């Protein structure tokens, strides 16, 4: 992540990325002049298969950044798990790197330093 040029419009796009290791399908999110709070708001719309719940920014980081994240599709991760690569005892993906796939959440942590944590919160209904 690098500090953004404030004159740029804030935006994030999501689309296909060049094939990775073993030709596994990959996706890429590219954000320009985006705060962690803006990214959290947009993540569900960009990758609903991974971010299938509301995402809340809990970083406390101020400022906007330019960054990109490349990750494997859910289907590629599921195929790796089916083959027996990187499955934790609870059936959730563990580190899937040996198979050449990386979940969105692994990619966020490794490529940007942002960690996604699932937790229950009270509804502000």
Q: Please indicate, yes or no, if residue 87 is contained in any of the structural domains.
A: yes
- Would 69 be classed as within a structural domain? yes
Give me the pLDDT at residue 88, please: 42
Q: Does 117 reside within a domain? A: no
User: In this structure, is residue 122 part of a structural domain?
Assistant: no
d(CA 69, CA 17): 10
Average of per-residue pLDDT values in the chain:
83
Instruction: From 62, 45, 68, select the one nearest 6 (Cα to Cα).
Output: 62
Is 96 inside any structural domain? yes
Beta-carbon-side half-sphere exposure of residue 11 (alpha carbons within 13 Å):
5
For 61-85, how does the pLDDT look when each residue is reduced to its tens digit (9 = 90+)?
999 999 999 999 998 888 888 876 5
**Does the pLDDT at position 89 exceed 60?**
no
Q: How far apart are CA 106 and CA 10, in angstroms?
A: 24
User: Is 108:59 a contact under the CB 8 Å cutoff?
Assistant: no
For residues 94-115, average pLDDT: 81
Task: Specify the higher pLDDT residue, 91 or 32.
Answer: 32
- Rounded to whole angstroms, what are the CA distances from 89 to 2, 16, 48, 110? 37, 31, 25, 23
Domain of residue 65: give its range: 2-112
Q: How many domains does the chain have?
A: 1
Q: Answer yes or no: is 32 within a domain.
A: yes
Kindly report the pTM of this predicted structure: 0.78
Question: Residue 97 has what pLDDT?
Answer: 52
Tell me whether residue 124 is in a domain.
no
Task: Give tens-digit pLDDT for 21-40.
Answer: 556 788 999 999 999 999 99
Task: Indicate the pLDDT class of residue 6, thresholds 50, 70 and 90.
Answer: confident
Whether residue 2 is predicted with pLDDT greater than 50 in this model: the reply is yes
């Amino acid at each position: 992540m690098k500090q953004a040029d404030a004159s740029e419009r804030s935006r994030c796009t999501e689309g296909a990325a060049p094939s990775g290791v073993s030709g596994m399908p990959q996706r890429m999110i590219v954000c320009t002049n985006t705060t962690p709070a803006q990214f959290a708001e947009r993540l569900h719309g960009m990758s609903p298969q991974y971010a299938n719940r509301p995402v809340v920014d809990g970083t406390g980081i101020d400022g906007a950044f330019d960054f990109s994240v490349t990750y494997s599709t859910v289907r590629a991760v599921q195929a790796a798990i089916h083959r027996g690569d990187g499955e934790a005892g609870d059936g959730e993906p563990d580190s899937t790197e040996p198979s050449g796939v990386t979940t969105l959440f692994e990619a966020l942590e490794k490529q940007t330093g942002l960690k996604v944590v699932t937790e229950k919160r009270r509804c502000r209904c």
